[in-house]
């Protein structure tokens, strides 16, 4: 911890002398404190907490009343809503709290009841019911309603839960599901763009709870138009202004600006309006009404007048997010005029076009927001259903009074939520939203892959589009999204990962901020004329994309707002920034903004001092205290742009406003594992980010309790000798995935070409790279309608020996396999049999059964680790078996270092053949030096030095990005301990016994074993199954398929002229079929008889591929006759 | 001038002749010296090693007699034991070719037989350790038994006999410690038998085995597994004789390796400040300081043996050219660390015996081949 040269730059000493600031070397200590409250997966949890505690109440508040058309006196009002603690209904009316792990094991959903308090009328009575369940909400692990919330490690252990598991996912039908962070363009903001014709347009995506609309201001032949989906054609802007009540052309012009350039560019638009002879609001409304697309109302559609429709359109559809109070469109008019103004100014070159890929213009949608969208839709549907029921039931004369509670069914909400989360299909009807792949199964290959998945950001862009803009690295991504961690291939640059310190905001109430702004001297737009709005000294003030007003002293406003925020009078996550070009102050309090903490610098001095850090060390300060004390604050991307942030203390000058906490936090979780990543070629870090997720090791402290479909574990995982701060922060050392192998960088035997590795057999014997592969097999015993059920029988006995038959050898007396047994291919795991009759009750005969055993399939035998007998939600028996294989590394298994250097085992050499150094140490792995020059992974070289120095000193060294232990220090350690300064040893060949002619770079490097293993892939077949339709060999290893002689291979053989080989490969060995062909008509016959010619005279037998015969028949069925023309071969 | 002329002509001629002879002589000696150097030393250069290969066969150098001479070999060959105890041994083997020296190392690692647990019969294992992993761990425990007393077991033999198999047993169950205080958190206090050590393995003598030897693991403190109350391990094991070639657990040595004797030559006098610098470039005790005739501090090589060949001296430009680093090619500093019950010297002599057996069988094969050839002729 102490050995950490803060700055690797050469000239830091000079700065240190001139700077009075005492060293803030341990400011990284803020990080673990930060990670306790924010960052990593906390944004998922925060957003979900916000949803179940705040947002859900708002949704209910907005949809609180259900009225019926049938009875004006009848009503149903929601008073409150509440999401409870997760539980499970064990049997009728018996519920009990449940742990997430139980849900995982029993294939259940970890969900809690949603209860409402309602007030409704029953007959003439007014009834209040409290705690009425309306459905079940899947609960995010570690959220405020989760049983894990606020528990300590011991309590976690009791619940079979890993304390390092990040949470933030759902358990849905026993499967862990993550709602990926969705990145999208920010709502309710103007985006000025240039189209292909070089014309400037301004678009706004408006989004409210009710509606999502899009408005574009475009130019056509010098005129400005409003484009909107509900309109049949583009609407001249002046018409819209007039319809909004601004009838005078002068007022319109003043709203846009009375600058000469503006006026000359806008004049044609005014003229156009004149030409259309629209002068009054009424005329304009009529005109707009005539252009509005009529909705095909399904039922109960009331036709309204054109002006009403125009009014409605103006109020709710056009720029839906700008509020219209009492049909006063003024603020909307101002907004529209601003859009036009921006287009003109951009056209004139006074403003720049906006960047769509800029992260200030992006919002992240998190689990809470997405579930909230879904829930609101469901809740509305739930209420319309209730209304429908009320409408239908109330008029009917009935004995009992109509009680709506009887009709409140839980399954609509429960099933839809479960279904959405388990399939990932997000269907929100009212926004016409249909998204696929929103959720993914949490990858539990390793701890890192699970953690990496929680920080993944998915872009809404189409993956097939070949545009580079959204894929390339954006400068505004700095510190927010990891620059290294992105997949290769089609999703490259579209799927990203959060950096270590990124936090994503949740919605903050707008009203108090608005009030505060007015108190700080912002003048309300409603009070101002166009001329005043655009006056030269005024700055417009925007709050979440809405115009609030104008201020004369923007500096003071921004200063005061920031001051108040730092002192806690304003929410921490409200961002304030000035845009001098736009002459506006933007204030954002909406959710989904990326932000990260910075140390505040005042008068060239960071406010955080070493005393503060000292207090932090002693546990007297938390991150919260730093925030409250105004020492540290969160900046979002927009505000970051408005600040002057120093990378470290030495770079602070008089302009600096903030100081970076630690530069390595700009990397994400996966890239944080790489030692010395700043010395590597950048694609190598990207490769490692992808491979770190495939490395096997440990997945959690509860790994032995889990029954996953596939789980890879290392028998002897080790913590890396060279670690980084990130590794410590994310507890990778406690849940490692890899081993420190002694490697020798040298050529050996020729079995090491193309990155192949040579392993030491003795190391493998002693447990290097040994792994456990767990798979599960499950069996459900059902109960059927006729009271019959699946049964499990004990093992069948051999008639002679009275011992179980071979297939049943592994079975216990209860017919389920015994834990600890070894099972081989085709041996039975559960001796299940199903009743033949499942629908009809037949009392005379005892039910007949058919054997449907669940048997083991696989070429390599497995051990039974454990058997779970339980029941799932449908109350059917559930038997889960965990099967285990232990594998030692073999030829072809894949290994990789932490620098994107993967390779397969090319040879496993005897220990005595391996080279050894003067101390007798021989390497575990030999790596070919050709791996270095083209890959330029200098970080790996440094890692070796660091590990070697760490090994001789018995301590861990750091390879933290942009820091880490200095090479000179490490080399000094080596030479002090009698090793070569450069890490090169004199090695002796184990084969000849002579010294090697070169010094060999030799030392420990952390190696990961990747999940790709030969036994899972090896495949060969001689004869085997064939597909039913084509009679060709099946495809794929899992179906014991053939190996295809493909088109290109075929081409080679054609080129070579090996026609008989081709015939054999493509027909004889594949789907040869004998057909009878009539030589006269050329059609296929049968049994030496041509049905068309009614003769067998010219029928000949020949061999063609079955697929060919099939084609002929299919063509025939489509009324196309393929005729085969036959000739004796000697007459050709 | 005229007088001088003939003289002038004569002297150079004579001189030339003289010089030729002299050059030839010095060439010869320096060549001899050079060849000797090449034959016996490998040089550590800054970036690589040179003369690493053995040239110990006739005809390697022109004019140098490299023919095998057993008398010469006998007079040159020496073995010096530096240190020895029952676990570790260091000895020098001087005057032998690398291939032979390496053969002993290879045999020690891979071909000296030992006993190790090969079959594990699991009766009960409720611990968190998987059966295969437990078996693997048990297999790697070195046993204190003299493998020479046993035979190799037949591959198809499942039971084993007293001559080729050792039966061992490990039966342990973890329980709560009833006398532990209630607030105890230390597992050592709370539980009994919560750690399974190699010392818990019990040998069950088979036949008359108990008369011949006493078997136990070499170390009693190898942690095999950790248990918690209710966990139980009940296994029976069979240890058999095997070779390190087949599995590393049969290897009798923790390591057997050698290094060559380093040699440091100071090419010129090193005095003054350079002395300390030079001293720091080598392992402690390699470079000494003495007072020379000029009453200066001068460096001298005390003993190069301790040097680790870190070549630190090449990093000092002022010293780089004043030092020559080399190793003696036929001086092997052997170190053998026994992992099993046998003493390292026993293992080494075993390895020699094995090599001798191999040689004998090879000779026999050669004889047979000769005989066969004769027969066919």
pLDDT, tens digit, for every residue of A476-492? 999 899 999 999 988 88
CATH code for position A434:
3.90.1100.10
CATH code for position A1094:
3.90.1800.10
Mutation target among B49, B112, B120, B277 for the A interface, most CBs of A within 10 A: B49
- The answer to whether A911 touches B245, Cβ cutoff 8 Å, is no
Give the pLDDT score at B15: 62
> Long-range contacts made by residues A210-218, C-beta under 8 angstroms, separation at least 24?
A210/A316, A210/A320, A210/A430, A211/A316, A211/A317, A211/A320, A212/A320, A212/A431, A213/A317, A213/A318, A213/A319, A213/A320, A215/A318, A215/A319, A215/A339, A217/A336, A217/A339, A217/A340, A217/A343
Residue A975: list chain B partners with CB under 8 A.
310, 312
Query: Is the CB of residue A921 less than 8 Å away from at least one CB of chain B?
Result: yes
What secondary structure letter does DSSP report for A531? H
**A845, A765: one domain:** no
Query: Is the CB of residue B189 less than 8 Å away from at least one CB of chain A?
Result: no
Residue A546 located in a structural domain: yes
- Domain assignment of residue B59, given as a range: 37-112+252-267+322-363
Answer yes or no: is pLDDT of A6 > 50. no
Residue A655 located in a structural domain: yes
* Nearest CB neighbour to B42, from listed A762, A765, A995: A995
The model's pLDDT over A740-779, given as tens digits with 9 standing for 90+, comes to 999 999 999 889 999 999 999 999 999 999 999 999 999 9
- Separation between Cα atoms, residue A619 and residue A919, nearest integer Å: 46
The model's pLDDT over B205-219, given as tens digits with 9 standing for 90+, comes to 988 888 777 888 999
Which one, of B282, B293, B358, lies nearest residue B323 by Cα?
Answer: B282
Give the pLDDT score at A269: 86
* Nearest CB neighbour to A766, from listed B125, B245, B248: B248
**A522, A637: one domain:** yes
- Separation between Cα atoms, residue A709 and residue A777, nearest integer Å: 8
- The answer to whether B112 touches B104, Cβ cutoff 8 Å, is no
**Total domains present in chain B:** 2
The model's pLDDT over A785-799, given as tens digits with 9 standing for 90+, comes to 888 888 898 898 988
Query: Is the CB of residue B312 less than 8 Å away from at least one CB of chain A?
Result: yes
User: What share of chain B in percent tops pLDDT 90?
Assistant: 51
Query: Is the CB of residue A154 less than 8 Å away from at least one CB of chain B?
Result: no
**B182, B195: one domain:** yes
CA of B134: which chain A residue's CA is closest? A715
A1096-1105, A1118-1127, B2-11, B252-261: which range is least confident on average?
B2-11
**B235, B258: one domain:** no
A15-24, A298-307, B255-264, B363-372: which range is least confident on average?
A15-24
Cβ neighbors of A37 (< 8 A, separation 6 or more) are A622, A623, A624
Mutation target among B248, B313, B317, B325 for the A interface, most CBs of A within 10 A: B248
**A105, A199: one domain:** no
What secondary structure letter does DSSP report for A1005? E
Which one, of A666, A652, A336, lies nearest residue A501 by Cα?
Answer: A666
Residue tagged active-site, from A16, A625, A755, A812:
A755
CATH code for position B146:
2.170.120.12
CA of B138: which chain A residue's CA is closest? A766
Query: Is the CB of residue A997 less than 8 Å away from at least one CB of chain B?
Result: yes
**A548, A451: one domain:** no
**B133, B172: one domain:** yes
CATH code for position A200:
3.90.1110.10
A159-173, A303-317, B357-371: which range is least confident on average?
A303-317
**Total domains present in chain A:** 6
Residue B227 located in a structural domain: yes
CA of B110: which chain A residue's CA is closest? A912
**B242, B257: one domain:** no
Determine the distance in angstroms separating the CA of A917 from the nearest CA of chain B, rounded to an integer.
8
Determine the distance in angstroms separating the CA of B152 from the nearest CA of chain A, rounded to an integer.
20
Average pLDDT, rounded, for chain A: 88
DSSP-derived 3-state class of residue A954? coil
Which one, of B285, B258, B256, B291, lies nearest residue B109 by Cα?
Answer: B256
* Nearest CB neighbour to A992, from listed B44, B98, B109: B98
Which domain-ending residue is among B200, B216, B251?
A: B251
Residue B262 located in a structural domain: yes
Answer yes or no: is pLDDT of A12 > 50. no
Residue B229 located in a structural domain: yes
Query: Is the CB of residue B259 less than 8 Å away from at least one CB of chain A?
Result: yes
**B138, B231: one domain:** yes
Residue A979 located in a structural domain: yes
Query: Is the CB of residue A911 less than 8 Å away from at least one CB of chain B?
Result: yes
**A265, A314: one domain:** yes
**A999, A866: one domain:** no
Residue A491 located in a structural domain: no
Which one, of A695, A693, A699, lies nearest residue A734 by Cα?
Answer: A699
Answer yes or no: is pLDDT of B129 > 50. yes
Answer yes or no: is pLDDT of A330 > 90. no
Residue B106 located in a structural domain: yes
Number of A–B residue contacts, CB under 8 Å: 116
Residue A144 phi/psi, 5-degree rounding, is -65, -25
- The answer to whether A351 touches A342, Cβ cutoff 8 Å, is yes
DSSP-derived 3-state class of residue A611? helix
Answer yes or no: is pLDDT of A715 > 90. yes
- Mean pLDDT over residues A422-440, rounded? 86
Answer yes or no: is pLDDT of A17 > 70. no
Residue B306 located in a structural domain: no
**B119, B210: one domain:** yes
Average pLDDT, rounded, for chain B: 87
Mutation target among A715, A887, A912, A968 for the B interface, most CBs of B within 10 A: A912
Give the pLDDT score at A63: 87
A1043-1047, B79-83, B291-295: which range is least confident on average?
B291-295
**A150, A98: one domain:** yes
Residue A1057 located in a structural domain: no
Give the pLDDT score at B16: 64
Which domain-ending residue is among B251, B279, B301?
A: B251
- Domain assignment of residue A154, given as a range: 42-183+363-461
Instruction: Inspect the interface and report whether the beta carbons of A988 and B133 lie closer than 8 Å.
Output: no
**B192, B182: one domain:** yes
Cβ neighbors of B357 (< 8 A, separation 6 or more) are none
Answer yes or no: is pLDDT of A9 > 50. no
Give the pLDDT score at A49: 93
CATH code for position A593:
3.90.1070.20
Residue B195 located in a structural domain: yes
**A401, A312: one domain:** no
Give the pLDDT score at A615: 86
**A167, A79: one domain:** yes
DSSP-derived 3-state class of residue A646? strand
CA of A912: which chain B residue's CA is closest? B106
Mutation target among A701, A713, A999 for the B interface, most CBs of B within 10 A: A999
Task: Tell me whether residue A1101 is exposed, middle or buried, using C-beta atoms within 10 angstroms of its C-beta: 0 to 12, 13 to 18, 19 or more.
Answer: exposed
Task: Name the pLDDT band for B23 (thresholds 50, 70, 90).
Answer: low
Residue A363 phi/psi, 5-degree rounding, is -130, 145
Give the pLDDT score at B19: 63
Residue A769: list chain B partners with CB under 8 A.
none
Helices A42-50 and A367-393, packing angle to 10 deg? 30
More confident position, B345 or A470:
B345
Instruction: Inspect the interface and report whether the beta carbons of A918 and B259 lie closer than 8 Å.
Output: yes
**B102, B74: one domain:** yes
Residue B47 located in a structural domain: yes
The helices-and-strands tally (H runs, E runs) of chain A is: 30, 55
Residue A907 phi/psi, 5-degree rounding, is -160, 140
- The answer to whether A870 touches A905, Cβ cutoff 8 Å, is no
- The answer to whether B174 touches B229, Cβ cutoff 8 Å, is yes
Which domain-ending residue is among B198, B219, B251?
A: B251
**B65, B80: one domain:** yes
Determine the distance in angstroms separating the CA of B42 from the nearest CA of chain A, rounded to an integer.
9
Rg (CA), chain B: 32
**B101, B145: one domain:** no
Interface of B with A in 25-64 (CB under 8 A): 42, 44, 47-50, 52-54
**A962, A947: one domain:** yes
- Mean pLDDT over residues A505-524, rounded? 88
Sheet of A65-67: strand order equals A65-67, A75-83, A111-122, A125-138
**A520, A584: one domain:** yes
Q: DSSP letter string over A658-722?
A: EE-S-GGGGSBTTGGGSSSGGGB-HHHHHHHHHHTTTEEB---TTTTT---SEEEEESS----SE
Task: Tell me whether residue A257 is exposed, middle or buried, using C-beta atoms within 10 angstroms of its C-beta: 0 to 12, 13 to 18, 19 or more.
Answer: buried
Query: Is the CB of residue A919 less than 8 Å away from at least one CB of chain B?
Result: yes
**A834, A922: one domain:** no
CATH code for position B98:
3.30.1360.10
- Separation between Cα atoms, residue B350 and residue A1, nearest integer Å: 50
Query: Is the CB of residue B251 less than 8 Å away from at least one CB of chain A?
Result: yes
Residue A798 annotated in active site: no
Answer yes or no: is pLDDT of A10 > 80. no
Residue A997: list chain B partners with CB under 8 A.
48-50, 52
CA of B48: which chain A residue's CA is closest? A998
* Nearest CB neighbour to A767, from listed B50, B110, B136: B136
Task: Name the pLDDT band for A23 (thresholds 50, 70, 90).
Answer: low
Task: Name the pLDDT band for A933 (thresholds 50, 70, 90).
Answer: very high
Give the pLDDT score at A300: 47
Residue B371 located in a structural domain: no
- Separation between Cα atoms, residue B122 and residue B131, nearest integer Å: 8
Mutation target among A821, A949, A995, A996 for the B interface, most CBs of B within 10 A: A995
The model's pLDDT over A950-969, given as tens digits with 9 standing for 90+, comes to 999 999 999 999 988 999 99
Instruction: Inspect the interface and report whether the beta carbons of B255 and A912 lie closer than 8 Å.
Output: no
Query: Is the CB of residue A1006 less than 8 Å away from at least one CB of chain B?
Result: no
Give the pLDDT score at A537: 79
**B93, B128: one domain:** no
**B223, B350: one domain:** no
Task: Name the pLDDT band for A295 (thresholds 50, 70, 90).
Answer: low
Distance linking the first and last C-alpha atoms of chain B: 85
Query: Is the CB of residue A1053 less than 8 Å away from at least one CB of chain B?
Result: no
Query: Is the CB of residue A767 less than 8 Å away from at least one CB of chain B?
Result: yes
Q: Which helix (H) or strand (E) holds A780?
A: strand A771-781
- Separation between Cα atoms, residue A1024 and residue A1039, nearest integer Å: 9
Answer yes or no: is pLDDT of A210 > 80. no
Query: Is the CB of residue B248 less than 8 Å away from at least one CB of chain A?
Result: yes
Residue A978: list chain B partners with CB under 8 A.
283, 308, 310
Query: Is the CB of residue B354 less than 8 Å away from at least one CB of chain A?
Result: no
Answer yes or no: is pLDDT of B22 > 90. no
């Amino acid at each position: 911890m102490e050995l950490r040269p803060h700055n690797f730059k050469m000239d830091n000493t000079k700065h240190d002398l001139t700077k009075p600031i005492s060293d803030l070397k341990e400011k990284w200590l803020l990080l673990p404190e930060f990670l306790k409250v924010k960052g990593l997966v906390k944004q998922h949890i925060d957003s979900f907490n916000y949803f179940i505690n705040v947002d859900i109440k708002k949704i209910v508040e907005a949809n609180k009343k259900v009225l019926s058309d049938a009875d004006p006196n009848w009503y149903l009002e929601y008073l409150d809503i509440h999401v409870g603690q997760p539980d499970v209904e064990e049997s009728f009316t018996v519920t009990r709290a449940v742990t997430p792990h139980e849900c995982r094991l029993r294939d259940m959903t970890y969900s809690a009841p949603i209860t409402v308090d309602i007030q409704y009328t029953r007959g003439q009575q007014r009834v209040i019911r409290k705690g009425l369940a309306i459905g079940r909400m899947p609960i995010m692990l570690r959220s405020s309603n989760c049983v894990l919330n606020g528990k300590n490690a011991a309590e976690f252990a009791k619940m079979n839960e890993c304390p390092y598991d990040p949470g933030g996912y759902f358990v849905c039908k026993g499967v862990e599901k993550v709602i990926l962070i969705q990145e999208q363009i920010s709502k309710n903001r103007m985006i000025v763009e240039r189209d292909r014709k070089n014309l400037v347009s301004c678009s706004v995506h408006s989004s409210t709870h009710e509606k999502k609309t899009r408005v574009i201001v475009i130019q056509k032949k010098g005129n400005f138009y409003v484009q909107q989906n509900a309109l049949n054609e583009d609407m001249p802007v002046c018409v819209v202004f007039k319809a909004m009540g601004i009838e005078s052309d002068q007022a319109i012009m003043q709203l846009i600006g009375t600058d000469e350039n503006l006026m000359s560019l806008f004049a044609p638009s005014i003229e156009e309006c004149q030409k259309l002879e629209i002068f009054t609001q009424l005329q304009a409304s009529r005109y707009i009404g005539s252009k509005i697309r009529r909705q095909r109302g399904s039922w109960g559609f009331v036709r309204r007048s054109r002006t009403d429709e125009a009014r409605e359109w103006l109020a709710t559809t056009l720029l839906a997010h700008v509020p219209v109070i009492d049909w006063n469109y003024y603020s909307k008019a101002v907004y529209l005029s601003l859009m036009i103004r921006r287009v003109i100014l951009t056209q004139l070159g006074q403003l720049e076009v906006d960047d769509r890929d800029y992260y200030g213009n992006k919002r992240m949608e998190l689990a809470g927001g997405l579930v909230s969208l879904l829930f609101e839709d469901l809740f509305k549907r739930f209420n319309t259903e209730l209304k429908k029921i009320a409408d239908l039931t109330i008029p009917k004369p009935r004995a009992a009074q109509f009680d709506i509670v009887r009709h409140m069914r839980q399954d609509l909400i429960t099933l839809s939520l479960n279904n959405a989360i388990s399939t990932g299909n997000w269907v929100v009807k009212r926004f016409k939203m249909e998204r696929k792949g929103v959720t993914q199964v949490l990858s539990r290959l390793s701890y890192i892959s699970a953690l990496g998945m929680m920080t993944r950001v998915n872009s809404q862009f189409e993956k097939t589009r070949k545009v580079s803009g959204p894929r390339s690295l954006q400068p505004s991504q700095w510190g927010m999204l990891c620059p290294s961690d992105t997949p290769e291939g089609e999703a490259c640059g579209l799927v990203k990962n959060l950096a270590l310190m990124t936090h994503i905001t949740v919605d903050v109430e707008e009203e108090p901020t608005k009030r505060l702004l007015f108190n700080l001297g912002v003048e309300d737009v409603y009070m101002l004329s166009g001329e005043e709005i655009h006056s030269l000294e005024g700055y417009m003030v925007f709050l979440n994309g809405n115009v609030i007003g104008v201020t004369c002293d923007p500096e003071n406003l921004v200063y005061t707002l920031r001051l108040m925020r730092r002192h806690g009078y304003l929410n921490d996550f409200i961002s304030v920034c000035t845009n001098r070009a736009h002459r506006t102050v933007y204030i954002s309090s909406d959710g989904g903004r990326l932000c990260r903490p910075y140390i505040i610098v005042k008068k060239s001095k960071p406010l955080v001092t070493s005393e503060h850090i000292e207090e932090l060390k002693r546990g007297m300060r938390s991150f919260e205290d730093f925030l409250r004390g105004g020492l540290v604050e969160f900046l979002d991307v927009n505000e970051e742009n408005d600040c002057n942030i120093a990378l470290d203390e030495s770079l602070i000058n008089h302009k600096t406003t903030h100081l970076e906490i630690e530069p390595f936090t700009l990397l994400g979780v996966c890239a944080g594992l790489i030692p010395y990543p700043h010395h590597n070629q950048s694609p190598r870090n990207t490769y490692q980010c992808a491979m770190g997720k495939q490395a096997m090791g440990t997945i959690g402290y509860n790994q032995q309790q889990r029954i996953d479909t596939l789980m890879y574990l290392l028998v002897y995982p080790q913590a890396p000798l060279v670690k980084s701060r990130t590794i410590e922060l994310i507890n990778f050392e406690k849940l490692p995935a890899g081993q420190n192998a002694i490697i020798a960088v040298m050529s050996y035997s020729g079995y090491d070409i193309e990155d192949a590795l040579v392993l030491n057999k003795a190391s493998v014997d002693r447990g290097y790279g040994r792994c456990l592969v767990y798979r599960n097999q499950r069996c459900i015993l059902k109960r059927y309608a006729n009271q019959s059920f699946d049964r499990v029988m004990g093992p069948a006995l051999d008639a002679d020996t009275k011992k179980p038959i071979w297939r049943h050898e592994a079975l216990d007396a209860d017919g389920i396999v015994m834990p600890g047994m070894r099972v081989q291919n085709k041996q039975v795991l559960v001796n299940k049999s199903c009743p033949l009759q499942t629908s009809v009750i037949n009392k005379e005969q005892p039910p007949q059964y058919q054997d449907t055993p669940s048997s083991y399939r696989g070429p390599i035998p497995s051990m039974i680790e454990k058997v779970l007998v339980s029941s799932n939600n449908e109350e059917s028996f559930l038997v889960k078996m965990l099967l285990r294989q232990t594998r030692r590394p073999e030829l072809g298994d894949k290994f990789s270092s932490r620098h994107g250097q993967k390779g397969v085992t090319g040879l496993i050499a005897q220990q005595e053949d391996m080279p050894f150094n003067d101390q007798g140490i021989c390497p575990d792995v030999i790596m070919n030096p050709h791996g270095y020059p083209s890959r330029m992974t200098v970080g790996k070289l440094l890692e070796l030095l660091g590990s070697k120095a760490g090994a001789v000193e018995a301590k861990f060294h750091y390879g933290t990005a942009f820091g880490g232990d200095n090479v000179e220090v490490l080399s000094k350690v080596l030479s002090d301990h009698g090793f070569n300064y450069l890490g090169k040893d004199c090695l002796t060949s184990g084969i000849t016994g002579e010294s090697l002619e070169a010094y060999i770079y030799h030392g420990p490097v952390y190696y990961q074993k990747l999940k790709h293993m030969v036994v899972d892939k090896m495949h060969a077949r001689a004869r085997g199954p064939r597909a039913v339709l084509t009679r060709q060999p099946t495809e794929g290893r899992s179906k014991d398929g053939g190996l295809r002689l493909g088109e290109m291979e075929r081409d080679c053989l054609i080129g070579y002229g090996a026609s008989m080989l081709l015939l054999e490969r493509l027909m004889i060995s594949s789907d040869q079929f004998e057909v009878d062909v009539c030589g006269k008509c050329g059609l296929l016959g049968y049994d030496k008889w041509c049905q068309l010619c009614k003769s067998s005279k010219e029928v000949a037998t020949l061999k063609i591929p079955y697929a060919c015969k099939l084609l002929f028949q299919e063509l025939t069925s489509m009324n196309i006759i393929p005729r085969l023309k036959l000739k004796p071969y000697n007459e050709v | 001038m005229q007088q001088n002329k003939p003289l002038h002509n004569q002297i150079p001629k004579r001189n030339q002749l003289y010089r030729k002879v002299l050059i030839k002589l010095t060439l010869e000696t320096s060549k001899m010296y050079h060849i000797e150097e090449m034959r016996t030393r490998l040089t550590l250069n800054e970036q690589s090693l040179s003369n690493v290969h053995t040239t110990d066969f006739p005809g390697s150098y022109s004019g140098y007699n490299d023919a095998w001479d057993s008398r010469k070999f006998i007079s040159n060959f020496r073995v010096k034991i530096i240190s020895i105890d029952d676990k570790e041994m260091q000895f020098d083997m001087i005057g032998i070719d690398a291939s032979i020296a390496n053969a002993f190392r290879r045999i020690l690692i891979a071909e000296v037989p030992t006993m190790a647990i090969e079959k594990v019969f699991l009766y009960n294992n409720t611990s968190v350790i998987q059966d295969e992993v437990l078996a693997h761990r048990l297999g790697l425990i070195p046993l204190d038994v003299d493998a020479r007393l046993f035979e190799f077991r037949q591959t198809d033999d499942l039971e084993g006999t007293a001559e080729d198999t050792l039966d061992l047993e490990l039966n342990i169950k973890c329980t709560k410690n009833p006398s532990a205080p209630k607030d105890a958190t230390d597992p050592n206090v709370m539980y009994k038998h919560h750690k399974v050590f190699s010392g818990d393995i019990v040998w069950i003598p088979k036949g008359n085995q108990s008369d011949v030897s006493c078997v136990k693991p070499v170390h009693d403190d190898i942690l095999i597994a950790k248990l918690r109350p209710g966990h139980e391990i009940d296994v029976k094991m069979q240890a058999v004789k095997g070779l390190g070639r087949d599995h590393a657990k049969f290897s009798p040595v923790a390591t057997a390796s050698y290094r060559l004797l380093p040699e440091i030559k100071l090419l010129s006098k090193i005095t003054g400040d350079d002395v300390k610098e030079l001293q720091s470039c080598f392992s402690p005790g390699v470079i000494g300081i003495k007072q020379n005739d000029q009453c200066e501090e001068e460096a001298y090589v005390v003993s190069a043996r301790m040097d680790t060949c870190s070549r630190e001296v090449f990093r000092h430009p002022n010293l780089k050219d004043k030092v020559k680093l080399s190793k003696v090619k036929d001086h092997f500093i052997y170190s053998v660390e026994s992992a099993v019950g046998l003493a390292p010297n026993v293992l080494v002599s075993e390895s020699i015996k094995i090599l001798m057996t191999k040689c004998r069988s090879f000779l026999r094969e050669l004889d047979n081949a000769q005989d066969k050839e004769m027969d066919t002729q």
